Structure 1
Amino acid sequence: MTKIYVAGHSGMVGSAIVRLLQKRKQKGEPIELLTRTHAELDLTEQSAVRDFFSEAKPDVVILAAAKAGGIHANNTYPADFIYLNLMMECNVVHQAWMAGVKRLLFLGSSCIYPKFAPQPMPEDSLLTGTLEPTNEPYGIAKIAGIKLCESYNRQYGASHGIDYRSVMPTNLYGPNDNFHPENSHVIPALIRRFHEAVTTGAKEVVIWGSGKPYREFLHVDDMAEASLFVLDLPKQTYEANTQPMLSHINVGTGQEVSIAQLAESIAQVAGFAGKIVFDPSKPDGTPRKLMDVSRLKQMGWSARIGLKDGLEDAYRWYQQANSVRSA
């Protein structure tokens, strides 16, 4: 029986990974899932994390817990973003090693790459330039997570047999996303805005920025599949596609869309027929953020959920969640 601890199981990515692991369990894989709510385990508290690992003794750790948000949240809570993420990463990775955990998967973010990284962004563009100022604290915390995994591998890999890996997803969306009116990412923010516009009969929707930046989006169910794919790769295969000082793997679709095009697509999914207005006085963020996913493709994994189908799925989930809250 393999005991797998999913940190952040109630979040968008963590819940998708849990759903996929539960399907594997139902098919007969000898898996025991370990989860803890924030109320049960505060990952920023070192002693609490130490006690959990000592008692639960997981075999595998998937670190999907994070403090995350969109441009507004990153601008408003920079101290929260860097402190909370650093504390969670340090505590989980170190206590996993202390407890003898051999396999760990850390989930990062495309925010680790420089603002003007080559497009599409290859893994080796890490630390080659300055980050986008609006999400620099979050990006630095995620870079630290990668380097934690690399450093523990370098120091303890041979002597203790540990294998700590990192995957860097592009912008994610889907069920269990954060639809907060101010602190959410672009897709859930637009889904909520267009849904409310249809509900109230509004004639126009105002969107932050110029609409010109390009972004790549990956459905969270694809991310869950990619995460377990990378986690399960034979060590030789993983190491053949990485380097000791460059051990992370990009996860994305390899396709991008402008924010303006995205807004039009979401408006169509939500049934909004009014006017879309862009506010260029608001920040755009990074001009482009397209991931180079050639390494992951060479290893045998590619995204399967197209943006149109993914947006429809995300909107259905939002409608269902709204109806439950309203009941």
Structure 2
Amino acid sequence: MDAFYASVEQLDHPEWRGKPLVVGGNEARGVVAAASYEARKFGIFSAMSSALAAKKCPQLIFARPRFDRYKEISNQIREIFHEYTDLVEPLSLDEAFLDVTENKVGLKSAILIAKQIRAKIKERTGLNASAGVSYNKFLAKISSDLNKPNGQAVILPEEAEAFLEKLPIGKFFGIGKVTAEKMQSLGIHNGKDLKEYSLQFLTKKFGKSGLHYYNIVRGIHLSEVQPHRVRKSLSAENTFEKDLITPQELKENLRPVFEEVIKRIERNGIKGRTITLKIKHSDFTLQTRSRTLEQYPDEETFWKIALELLHQEEIEQPVRLLGLGISNLNITEEQVHFGEQLKIPFEKFSQG
């Protein structure tokens, strides 16, 4: 989907259409979760601090997230996907891989299927979607970004290697900022540069990921579309409008985060033996504290452990974010419906 959260807000608020808008945070606090294309013209993007976004665009509109609404539309989109194939692997509320090699409508062209899906999404939701078509997930993901917004692109097998050779290394799906910087320090700036290095060299420099990098630059990616994925954790977090300082403030503000995690545990019917507390300070330094139990804790024990982790050692710096999660789960397959938002990087998840 194109600028999904922001586009939903503009859809539901006609007075915001055509204007720079972000979802998440406010003029002084928080993080941008989504930026409209009008806002992007000012250099505003997701994960940017809301304060910086406001400086870049004084007339910027800040919209609070409404996850129930986003999930509602996300499920409508999912229904459209399943009209064509049941091999759907969600990446987030607004993005998924589809394997249409064998499809329910009997079309032999993935390009036509993509066009039909985008048209149905527009008809049923009023929103624009973009699509990428290729012979593996890695290339499909890259091509989905080529003609945004409201477009689609295809990378054919015979085009793949030449396309990848020209692609900047930072545009490779799965290569993050830190890895891209490391590669650039080695003189790897695009696919052609990456292709010149041997498997032995890449494995030495990047460990197990070296094989992955060696293959993808040659258009090789064997990962299948997986409708069911193993969940490793479940969590919630909250960024506060004002930094927390006192132990009492920390305890009082941890409680709503804990209650949100409990709701998600109950909704999804899962349990976890490892409890992790996440603390982000005012200077953006991050700290985590964890404890693994022999048995799955009940709600009372969970809260007790959360408080013990909070007071495990004195917190000397102001706190801007608290998060709480569980892992070592009692499940083997994905049990959360498509569209479940696990982490809320905004200032008030309770208002989402």
TM-score, normalised with respect to structure 2? 0.24
Which of 1 and 2 has higher RCO (CA within 8 Å, sep 6+)? 1
Larger Rg: 2
